[in-house]
Amino acid sequence: MVAASHEVGRERLLGRRYLGLDILFYRQQDGTVIGLEDRCVHRGLPLSMGRLEGDKIVCGYHGFCYSPQGECGRVPAQTQIPPKAAVRSFPVIEKPPFIWPWTGDAALAEVDTAPYYPWLNDEAWVHALGHIHINCSYMH
């Protein structure tokens, strides 16, 4: 998992390094979680330093605007949008209280196989959430 559900919202864009990839997470207006490559195609600014405009991400540097699918749909002061101007989009599944991205081939995504821990949503159980950085194999 990459984040706890409460860490991803609309007020603050969450940039996180996951399996060597920098990924931006945010929620659309309908609450679904989006995962996009956290690097603008223009000058490489992390998109997590930008802002939301509806369900789109606007880069904080020069204003390139990206759809939730990662396509660049607006370049300020330009009518032509480079056809390859897009960032990678990652399939994401949320099984509260956790969020799981799929970083492999999106066509092969098995997001439904993400683990589910229902007792973490059960008030009869005591638990703590947080994260720590560990330099180790992802299997650990």
Q: Does 51 bind ligand FES (CB under 6 A)?
A: no
If the CB atoms of residues 42 and 88 are measured against ligand FES, the closer one turns out to be: 42
If the CB atoms of residues 12 and 62 are measured against ligand FES, the closer one turns out to be: 62
Q: Does 59 bind ligand FES (CB under 6 A)?
A: yes
If the CB atoms of residues 59 and 99 are measured against ligand FES, the closer one turns out to be: 59
Q: How far apart are CA 140 and CA 134, in angstroms?
A: 9
Q: Output the DSSP codes for 30-55.
A: TS-EEEEESS-TTT---GGGSEEETT
60-65's contacts with Cβ under 8 Å and 24+ in sequence apart are 64/40
Q: Does 45 bind ligand FES (CB under 6 A)?
A: yes
Enumerate binding residues for ligand FES (CB under 6 A).
Answer: 40, 42-43, 45, 59, 61-64
